[in-house]
Amino acid sequence: MAEAMAGKRRFSILGDSISTFEGCNPTGFRVFYEGERCAATGVREARDTWWAQVVDALGGELLANGSFSGSMVEGAGFPAGDSAERVAALARDGQAPD
């Protein structure tokens, strides 16, 4: 925690379709904002997503985005938000979000 207090706070995202963006999610996770859908929705870059705007407004940095398009909060395993795989996707290189 002392490291985070000295620098930027690290944020991780656990969400569904609207929290995904091409190139920002783990390999194999379904993504909503990709290809032509980006132009059609106006979410053309990662910085256009709600989560990137929140992280920026709070002066933080994105650690990991464990969102999965089409997922639900609860369910019988992956890709539900309460699955071990989704929770593990919130850390990166041994670092946990603040």
Predicted confidence (pLDDT) per residue in 40-66, tens digit: 999 999 999 999 999 999 999 999 999
Q: Which tokens hold the place of 9?
A: 């706070």
Model confidence, pTM: 0.85
Average pLDDT of 6-25? 93
Helix (H, G, I), strand (E, B) or coil at 10: strand
Work out the percent of the chain whose per-residue pLDDT is above 90: 80
State the DSSP H helix or E strand holding residue 84, giving kind and residue range, or none if neither: helix 84-88
Domain boundaries, given as residue ranges, for the chain: 2-88
10 strand-pairing partners? 61
| Dihedrals phi, psi of 89, to nearest 5 degrees | -70, -5
For domain 2-88, the CATH class is: alpha beta
Instruction: Give the whole-angstrom CA distance, residue 58 versus residue 72.
Output: 27
